[in-house]
Amino acid sequence: MTGWRNGRLEGVRSIDGGDGSLTSVVGQSVLFAKLQDLLAWGRKNSLWPLNFGLSCCFVEMATSLTSVYDAARFGAEVVRGSPRQADVLVVSGTVFMKVAPVIRQLYEQMLEPRWVISMGSCSNSGGMFDAYSVVQGVDKFLPVDVYMPGCPPPPHAFMECLLLLQNMVGSERRPLSWWFGPQEVQKPIMPSMRDAKREERTRQREYPSIDVLPRTDILSPHFAGQPNGLSKDNS
Partner 1 sequence: MNPRSSALREASIGEQTELVAEIASHFSSEEYLTAVQSTKDGIPTIWIEKHRLRETLRFVKSKIPRPFPMLFDLSATDERLRRHHEGLPISAFTVFYHLFSFDRNQSLRIKVPLSGEDLSLPSIVDLWPNADWYERETYDMFGIQFDGHPFLRRLLMPSWWNGHPLRKDHPSRGTEMGQFQLPPEKLVMTQEALQFKPEDWGLSRTHQDPDFDYMFINLGPAHTGTHGVLRLVAQLAGEEIVNIVPDIGFHHRSQEKIAERQTWHTFIPYTDRVDYLQGVLNEMPYCLAVERLADIEVPQRAQVIRVMMSEFYRLASHLVWYGTFAQDIGALSPVFYMFNDRERILAIAEAICGGRMHPNWLRIGGVARDLPIGWDQLVQQFVDWFPNRLDEYERLVMDNPIFKARTVGIGGLSLEDAIAWGATGPMLRACGLPWDLRKTRPYSGYDQFDFDVPVATNGDCYGRGVVHVLEMRQSLRIIRQCLDSMPSGHYKSLNPLATPPMKEHTMHDIETLIHHFVGVSWGPVLPPGEAEVPTESSKGQTSYYLTSDGSQVSYRTRIRTPSFAHIQMVPFIVRGELLSDLLAVLGSVDYVLSDVDR
Residues in contact with partner 1 by CB under 8 A are 51-56, 58-60, 62-63, 66-68, 81, 94, 96-102, 104-106, 126, 128-136, 140-141, 151-152, 154, 210-211, 213-214, 216, 218-220, 222-223, 225, 229-231, 233-235
Cβ proximity to partner 1, 78 vs 213, nearer residue? 213
CA distance 169 to 6: 9
Q: b/e string for 80-103 if b means 16 or more Cβ within 10 A?
A: beebeebbbbbbbbbbbeeebeeb
Cβ proximity to partner 1, 10 vs 211, nearer residue? 211
Q: How far is the CB of 185 from partner 1 (least distance, A)?
A: 23
Q: How far is the CB of 176 from partner 1 (least distance, A)?
A: 32
CA distance 218 to 134: 37
Q: Which of 62, 65, 111, 104 is nearest to 86 (CA)?
A: 111
Q: Are residues 118 and 141 in contact, defined by beta-carbon separation less than 8 angstroms?
A: no
The dihedrals phi and psi of 74, each to the nearest 5 degrees, come to: -105, 15
Q: How far is the CB of 183 from partner 1 (least distance, A)?
A: 25
Q: How far is the CB of 133 from partner 1 (least distance, A)?
A: 5
Cβ proximity to partner 1, 28 vs 109, nearer residue? 109
Q: How far is the CB of 25 from partner 1 (least distance, A)?
A: 40
Cβ proximity to partner 1, 41 vs 147, nearer residue? 147
3-5 and 8-10 strand pairing: antiparallel
